[in-house]
Chains A and B, each alone.
Chain A
Amino acid sequence: MSGTPVSSMLLMLVASLIGSSGAVLLKLGAMELNKGFWHILNLKLAAGVAVYLVSWYVFVLGIRHGELSVLYPMVSLGYIWTLLWARLFFKEPFTREKFAGLALILLGVFFVGLGSK
C-alpha cells in the first residue's frame, strides 16, 4: 500500500464515481428502448457512453502510478455506488444476494489485482 500515491487512489475513486453515474445514464437510456429498438439512438445513452469514456480516461491517469493490487479493485467500488444509485433512482431493492455477490466479486477483483503486475 505504501507504494501507491494518495493522488492515484483519489483518481480511481473519482473514476469509479463517474463510471457509476454512467451506469445510471445507461439504465435511463435503456428504458427508452421499451418504445422500440431504434430508440437506442437517444441522448441519455449517448451521454452515458460519453461519461464512460471520461471515467476510462481518469482511470488510465490513476493507474499510471502505484500498485495495481490496490488500484485495480478500486474501480469495482463503482459497483457499490451503482447499488446505491439503483436503490435511490430506480427503487431497486437491496437483497442479501446482492450484498453477498458484490462482496465476493470485490474480493475476487482484489485477488486479480494482486496477480497483476
Chain B
Amino acid sequence: MNSTAANLARPTDVPPRRPLVLVFGCTVLGAAAQIFMKFGANRLTHPGLIGMATNLPLFCGLVLYGLSTVLLVLALKDGELSLLYPVIALTYVWVTVLSLVLLHDKPNPYKLAGIAIIVIGVSVLGRRGKR
C-alpha cells in the first residue's frame, strides 16, 4: 500500500478542518455584507436602479456576498453538506455582534441567549461524529 492509500484510509468520523474554516469565513463575510447592505439601504435617497447602482455600501455588500458564496462553494467541494450548511447560522452571531458595535443596537437578552445557543450548536456539529 502506498502513502496515498494510507491517507485515504484516514478515519472519516472526524470532520476535516479546512471546510469548517472556509464556512466560518463565509459567515463572517456574509455578516459584513448584511451590515454594508443595511448601511446602504439607510442612505438610499433615490430608490430605483440608478440610486442602487451608485450606492457604494450596497455595492460593497453585493461583492462581499459574492465572496462569501465562493467560500461556501469551496467548503462544499470537500465537506459534507449536512454538516456545513447549519454552520451558516453563525451569520446571526456576527450580525448581532456587529450591530451592537457598529450600529449601536441595544443589547437584547433574547438575542444574546440565541447567539450563545447557536455557538454551542455549531461546536457540537464540529465534534467527532458517531454513526
Q: Taking beta carbons and an 8 Å cutoff, which residues of A are in contact with B?
A: 23-24, 26-27, 29-31, 33-34, 40, 45, 49, 76, 78-79, 82-83, 85-87, 90, 92-98, 100-105, 107-116
Contact = CB atoms under 8 A, between A and B. Distances in A.
Contact of A112 (B72, B74, B110, B125): B110
B81 A92 contact: yes
B76 interface: yes
Interface residues of B, number: 41
Main secondary structure of the interface of A (DSSP, over half): helix
B81 A27 contact: yes
B13 to A, nearest CB: 8
Contact of B130 (A40, A95, A111): A95
Interface string B92-131: 1000100000000000111111111111111111111111
Contacts of A82: 81-82, 85-86
A105 B118 contact: yes
A95 B131 contact: yes
Contacts of B82: 82-83, 86-87, 90, 92, 94, 98
A40 B75 CA distance: 12
Interface of B: 69-70, 72-77, 80-83, 85-86, 89, 92, 96, 108-131
A86 B81 CA distance: 6
24 contacts: A26-B72, A31-B77, A40-B73, A82-B81, A82-B85, A87-B82, A90-B80, A90-B82, A92-B83, A94-B82, A95-B130, A97-B124, A97-B128, A98-B83, A101-B121, A101-B126, A103-B121, A104-B117, A108-B115, A108-B117, A109-B89, A109-B92, A112-B111, A114-B114
Contacts of B76: 26-27, 30-31
B81 A90 contact: yes
B72 to A, nearest CB: 7
A49 B110 CA distance: 32
A111 B113 contact: yes
Contacts of B70: 40
Contacts of B69: 49
